[in-house]
């Protein structure tokens, strides 16, 4: 039985591509949540001002619009943690020789560059007056500090990959 080396493409050489895809996915999910909140708030305003709808409908829509930011913020945090866990688990199955550590560092620099660009793009988006990110404190914290989070993630993945007992890397039973 063959173990998949990368959770998206199946090749261990594409792990960096998968990680960059995670950065982009997090950015897109965060932006779509904030955009969805704006759309949902506009719809809620229209529903509340409508005289043809029943009060129960208005209350239901208002409750959903009120709960949307906190629910989506928690969902984003859950997605972030689960992606990190999947990355750690799939990294455990990568058999890598310590010689490739230099290549991993070069790829890490590229990944951190992409994470920095994504974080800056989110900061520009969040500072625009059209969108309110105050309802998403966890999402805002993660995306505005994405570079630091991915540096920590890369270090933890590096410990998993190079810390296994194979090739005398420490750890293990």
**Domain span including residue 156:** 12-168
The pLDDT confidence band at residue 12, using thresholds 50, 70 and 90, is low
Neighbours of 126 (CB within 10 A): 19
Question: By mean pLDDT, which of 49-53, 143-147, 164-168 is the weakest?
Answer: 164-168
Asked if residue 6 belongs to a domain, the reply is: no
Asked if residue 1 belongs to a domain, the reply is: no
Sign of CA dihedral 97, 103, 106, 110: negative
Mean pLDDT of 75-98: 84
Asked if residue 5 belongs to a domain, the reply is: no
Considering its fold, how many domains does the chain have in total? 1
Element (H, E) at 111: helix 101-126
Q: How far is CA 39 from CA 21, 104, 126, 154, 155, in A?
A: 26, 42, 16, 35, 38
pLDDT at 67: 92
């Amino acid at each position: 039985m063959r173990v998949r080396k990368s959770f998206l493409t199946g090749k261990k050489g594409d792990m960096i591509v998968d990680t960059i895809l995670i950065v982009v996915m997090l950015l897109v999910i965060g932006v779509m949540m904030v955009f969805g909140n704006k759309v949902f708030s506009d719809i809620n305003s229209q529903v509340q001002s409508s005289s043809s709808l029943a009060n129960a409908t208005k209350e239901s829509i208002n409750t959903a619009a009120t709960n949307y930011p906190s629910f989506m913020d928690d969902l984003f945090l859950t997605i972030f943690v689960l992606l990190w866990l999947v990355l750690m688990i799939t990294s455990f199955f990568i058999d890598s020789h310590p010689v490739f550590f230099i290549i991993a560092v070069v790829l890490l620099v590229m990944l951190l560059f992409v994470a920095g660009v994504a974080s800056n793009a989110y900061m520009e988006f969040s500072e625009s007056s059209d969108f309110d990110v105050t309802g998403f404190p966890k999402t805002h914290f993660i995306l505005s500090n994405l570079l630091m989070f991915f540096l920590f993630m890369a270090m933890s993945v590096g410990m998993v990959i190079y810390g296994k007992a194979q090739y005398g890397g420490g750890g293990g039973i």
